[in-house]
């Protein structure tokens, strides 16, 4: 990686796609959209390229990457697929489900942080799939943001965070889903367990597998060799202090200082306009809209000069509610001792 590149944003023309795929095939790193968030991609078989991804993000080496593939065959080159993985792939790929499986020998240790398992998924975004197809590489890609900060859902977010550290950003508009994939541990297919909540629900996976799937818990399971990044207490974090409120009542607004902002999940019904009130979804919109807007709103609030953000948790226990609340809780977690 050169010392201080300035990122250029590429429109998704066939010519630019061919160019960026070639950058990847030659061991370069490229930020590109997926349907969840923007990823910072590198050839997953190229240890040096993957090291550049860790470096650009400032990501600790004990934080393994997800490998993105374009076919079941390619998934099989990266991970040892079992029947459970094949069934889930058939039901949910391409899509926001990542499977943790025993790794194949060709995956360099840096990608898996030395673990014998690898995380693999087939993304649904056509541009990302095209980069995999044209480059011929399985692509290791964490979110395209400095480690620990709010995940990027637009090309501009990527440039804001990594503009001085990478050269190439592919613009695919705003990421449709807006929160990262569900991660399922399938190393032992008779004991599937959710490692990170996302938009694919536990119930939907149980239907396909015809067995119980262990719900996500904030504590790392005992058999996990190293703490996985999705399990870091503090992540997705704005610089502005963030506190969570179970359910924001409009009366809460009376106690606020002028320089404090509140973030509702749904647009509140208020008698008057208040400049420090924000929301993730409009009246009548589903949680899908809230997930889609989550990281963008947090970024906007973070650059709004507020001294404090109070955010409401999403109601219910749907997959999206769990995913949104997981990201909000990590975003609100206190910085640990330095
Ligand atoms: P990110 O790249 O920020 O979306 O995070 C990658 C996620 O993949 C983390 O949340 C990890 O929990 C998970 N992950 C990647 N590789 C492995 C692995 N080998 N075993 C367990 N979890 C993994
Ligand atoms: Mg990330």
For residues 188, 192, 198 and 204, what is the CA-based torsion angle, rounded to 10 degrees?
Answer: 130
Cα of 183 vs its chain's centroid, Å = 10
**Cβ proximity of 142 and 51 under 8 Å:** no
Which pLDDT score is estimated for 211?
A: 97
| Distance in Å, CA 183 to ligand 1 centroid | 8
196 lines ligand 1 (CB under 6 A): yes
Which pLDDT score is estimated for 3?
A: 52
- Record the tokens describing residue 219, joined without a space: 């504590």
Ligand minimally distant from the alpha carbon of residue 54: 1
The residue nearest atom 1 of ligand 1, judged by CA position, is 142
Query: Which residues make up the environment of ion ligand 2, defined by Cβ < 5 Å?
Result: 143
Ligand minimally distant from the alpha carbon of residue 221: 1
The residue nearest atom 8 of ligand 1, judged by CA position, is 66
Polymer length of the chain: 338
pLDDT in tens, 19-72: 999 999 999 999 999 999 999 999 999 999 999 999 999 999 999 999 999 999
Asked if the model's pLDDT at residue 188 lies above 60, the reply is yes
Which pLDDT score is estimated for 19?
A: 98
Which pLDDT score is estimated for 318?
A: 97
Please give the model's pTM, rounded to 2 decimal places: 0.94
CA pseudo-torsion sign 186, 70, 166, 179: negative
53 lines ligand 1 (CB under 6 A): no
State the Cα–Cα distance between residues 159 and 169, nearest whole angstrom: 8
Give the Å distances, CA to CA, from 140 to 31, 55, 304.
Answer: 11, 14, 33
> Which domains does the chain carry?
8-209 (3.90.870.10), 242-332 (no CATH)
Q: What is the CA radius of gyration of the chain?
A: 20
**Cβ proximity of 328 and 244 under 8 Å:** yes
64 lines ligand 1 (CB under 6 A): yes
Asked if the model's pLDDT at residue 255 lies above 90, the reply is no
| Distance in Å, CA 304 to ligand 2 centroid | 23
Which pLDDT score is estimated for 335?
A: 64
Say if residue 272 is preceded by a cis peptide, omega within 30 of 0.
Answer: no
pLDDT band at 252 (very low <50, low <70, confident <90, very high): confident
pLDDT in tens, 266-281: 999 888 778 899 999 9
Question: Phi/psi of residue 224, each to 5°?
Answer: -80, 120
Give the Å distances, CA to CA, from 258 to 277, 284, 309, 321.
Answer: 11, 28, 11, 29
| Distance in Å, CA 38 to ligand 2 centroid | 9
Which residues lie across from 10 on neighbouring strands? 170
């Amino acid at each position: 990686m050169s010392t201080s590149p300035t990122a250029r944003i590429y429109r998704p023309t066939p010519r630019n796609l061919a160019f960026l795929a070639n950058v990847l095939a030659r061991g370069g790193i490229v930020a590109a959209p997926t349907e969840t968030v923007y990823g910072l991609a590198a050839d997953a078989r190229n240890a040096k390229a993957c090291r550049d991804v860790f470096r650009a993000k400032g990501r600790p080496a004990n934080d393994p990457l997800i490998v993105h593939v374009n076919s079941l065959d390619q998934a099989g080159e990266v991970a040892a697929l079992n029947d459970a993985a094949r069934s889930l792939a058939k039901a949910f790929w391409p899509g926001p489900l990542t499977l943790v499986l025993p790794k194949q020998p060709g995956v360099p240790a840096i990608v898996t942080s030395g673990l014998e398992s690898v995380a693999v998924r087939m993304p649904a975004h056509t541009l990302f799939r095209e980069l995999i197809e044209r480059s011929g590489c399985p692509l290791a890609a964490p979110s395209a943001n400095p480690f620990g900060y709010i995940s990027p859902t637009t090309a501009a977010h990527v440039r804001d965070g990594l503009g001085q550290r990478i050269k190439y950003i592919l613009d695919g508009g705003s990421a449709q889903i807006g929160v990262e994939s569900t991660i399922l541990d399938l190393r032992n297919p008779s004991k599937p367990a959710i490692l990170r909540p996302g938009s694919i629900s536990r119930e939907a996976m149980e239907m396909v597998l015809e067995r119980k799937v262990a719900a996500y818990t904030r504590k790392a399971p005992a058999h996990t060799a190293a703490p996985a990044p999705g399990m870091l207490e503090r992540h997705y974090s704005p610089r502005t202090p963030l506190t969570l409120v179970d359910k924001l009542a409009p009366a809460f607004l009376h106690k606020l200082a002028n320089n404090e902002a509140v973030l509702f999940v749904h647009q509140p019904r208020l008698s008057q306009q208040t400049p420090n009130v924000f929301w993730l979804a409009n009246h009548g919109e589903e949680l899908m809209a809230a997930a889609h807007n989550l990281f963008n709103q947090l970024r906007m609030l973070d650059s709004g000069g507020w001294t404090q953000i109070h955010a409401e948790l999403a109601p219910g226990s749907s997959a999206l509610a769990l995913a949104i609340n997981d990201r909000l809780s990590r975003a609100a977690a206190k910085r640990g001792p330095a």
